[in-house]
Amino acid sequence: MIRYTNPMSDFICPHDEYLKTPLSQDAKGDNVDLSIYKGKVLLIVNVASMCGLANSNYTELSEIYQKHKDQGLEILAFPCNQFGSQEPGTNEEIREFVCTRFKAEYPVFDKVDVNGSNASPIYKYLKSSKGGIFGDSIKWNFSKFLVDKDGHVVDRYAPTTSPLSIEKDIKKLLEKVK
């Protein structure tokens, strides 16, 4: 399970507690307490507005969110500029782009690192829970992690995996939320 001791600490994962204290700041600069997602199915994605995968991924993420948000799905988008500098904008520019062009209603967080010594604690946890085929590091924009209502990482998907192709896995987890 996911638990935070504080926003700057490493993720720790005891099985007796859920999400606690602020995770990060959202794109508006507000602290977000992960406990608000307790009992929700999460699709966590590192995003980049200038990536060639942006159009299809953002479009499909918005479609899935609209279809399943009332059933307990949350999509958490974490902008990242580590791959080809494809997310150079400010938080406000990123949020405006995603919300205006793709009508995204899901949370867009502050820009984070997903790899390296400055990697966000949530990405340290996600990667350690579900390594990739070629190691734990995130290889590109739009890598996706599916997390169940109890905070367990269920699966990891490659950047080229269409969000719509994940929908069946999301539905299975949502059925367990009821």
Residue 56 lies in a domain: yes
Please tell me the predicted confidence (pLDDT) of residue 143. Answer: 97
pLDDT of residue 10: 36
pLDDT attached to residue 48: 97
One of 13, 51, 80, 99 is an active-site residue; which one? 51
C-beta separation of 173 from 146 below 8 A: yes
Please name the residues in contact with 100: beta carbons below 8 A apart, sequence gap of 6 or more.
none
Contacts of 33 (CB under 8 A, 6+ apart): 19, 20, 21, 22, 23
Residue with tokens 């500098």: 85
7 lies in some domain: no
Look up the domain containing 137 and give its range: 22-177
CA neighbor of 143 nearest in space, from 161, 124, 120: 161
- Asked, for residue 149, whether it belongs to a domain, the answer is yes
Q: Is residue 151 part of a domain?
A: yes
pTM for the predicted model, two decimal places: 0.84
CATH number of the domain bearing residue 43: 3.40.30.10
Q: Which amino acid is at 89?
A: G
pLDDT of res. 38 = 85
pLDDT of amino acid 7: 32
State yes or no: is 13 an active-site residue: no
> Would you state the pLDDT for residue 1?
43
Low-confidence ranges of the chain (pLDDT < 70): 1-27, 132-135, 177-178
Q: Tell whether 78 is covered by a domain.
A: yes
User: Please, how many CA atoms are within 13 Å of residue 149, restricted to the half-sphere of its CB?
Assistant: 14
Query: How many domains does the chain contain in total?
Result: 1
Cα torsion for 112, 114, 115, 120, to the nearest 10°?
Answer: 60
Report how far apart, in Å, the C-alpha atoms of 7 and of each of 68, 81, 110 are: 29, 20, 13
Distance, in Å, from the CA atom of 105 to the CA atom of 168, rounded to the nearest integer, reads 21
On whether residue 161 sits in a domain, the answer given is yes
| Predicted pLDDT of residue 16 | 29
Does residue 168 lie within any of the structural domains? yes
- Note the pLDDT of residue 25: 62
Residue 90 lies in a domain: yes
* CA–CA dist 2, 165 (Å, integer): 26
